[in-house]
Amino acid sequence: MQQDLRDYLISYKTKIEKEIAERLGKLEIPENLKESMLYSMQAGGKRIRPILLIASFEAYGTEVEKAISSAVALEMIHTYSLIHDDLPAMDDDDYRRGQLTNHKKFGEATAILAGDALLTNSFEQIAADSMLSSVEKAELITKLAQVSGPLGMVAGQILDMEAEKRSVSLEELERIHELKTGELLRFAVYAGAYLARATEEQLKHLVEFAHYLGLIFQVQDDILDITGTEEKLGKPVGSDESNEKSTYPKLLGLDGAMKQKEIYVENAKQALSKANAANSTLELLVDYFSNRDH
């Protein structure tokens, strides 16, 4: 990774984490609930989704503070989904990012409620942002509800569960991950550019870019479940196979999965060029997503 991108990621990761601590710290709520919410929100992670939103904004605009509330809201949605994914009724994981999962630390009931609280408070983060117009708030809240709910991420989670213990086609696998992983990434790219007043034509190509970026992210996730290390991933490797998940390596073989990823990378960069955002941080993030090791 180029040093400039490394510095960029570190800088905005630090800014997002400061905003998370300040905003959740101000909530006047039961202490155990706040502790549980902060536990998962501050558990580490790369903050890829909020940083992607900011990078998309910066491809077309300069007043980056306008994107911060939406970036925080997106990370809250992502974290809520992880808390619920780890529950015994879902993936039944004991560790996340190298530490106990929320339900192992606080109990299932508190973990469920912490996830619920992050989900609902995310929309308030956008609604309370004085830098956004009423039209912008309505647009972002509507889009975020769509990508995280039954039309998006939740639908992908259901399809992913239903695909366990059976063979699926490449088309089915792409559909699962387009919803489960790709929809939040799509929101990140769309929201940032929308707030920076990108044109309708640019937004159309950015949505296509985000589609391929989501697939790149998921293919690499599947590859790392085979080739990665528990130390870097913060969770056991091989969990997809033990849970009989449908994955790209299972469908195409490891070499086939890597070749498919390169097709997605090329398609993503072509869409980015059509959106007049080639040579931006967004293009650097394509290679980062493709080559990450955790």
- Report the CATH number at residue 121: 1.10.600.10
- CB-hemisphere CA count at 13 Å for 108? 7
- CB-hemisphere CA count at 13 Å for 274? 16
- Predicted confidence (pLDDT) at residue 294 exceeds the cutoff of 80: no
Residue 246 confidence (pLDDT): 80
Residue 232 confidence (pLDDT): 55
Residue 154 confidence (pLDDT): 96
Candidates 218, 240, 238; CA nearest to 173 is: 218
| Structural domain count of the chain | 1
pTM of this prediction? Answer: 0.91
Candidates 15, 38, 8, 36; CA nearest to 26 is: 38
Domain that holds residue 93: 3-291
Distance, CA of 70 to chain centre: 13
**Structural element, H or E, at residue 95:** strand 95-96
Q: What is the largest CA-CA distance in the chain?
A: 52
- Predicted confidence (pLDDT) at residue 210 exceeds the cutoff of 70: yes
- Predicted confidence (pLDDT) at residue 212 exceeds the cutoff of 70: yes
- When pLDDT is cut at 50, 70 and 90, the band that residue 293 belongs to is confident
Q: Is 128 exposed, middle or buried (0-12, 13-18, 19+ CB in 10 A)?
A: exposed
Residue 233 confidence (pLDDT): 56
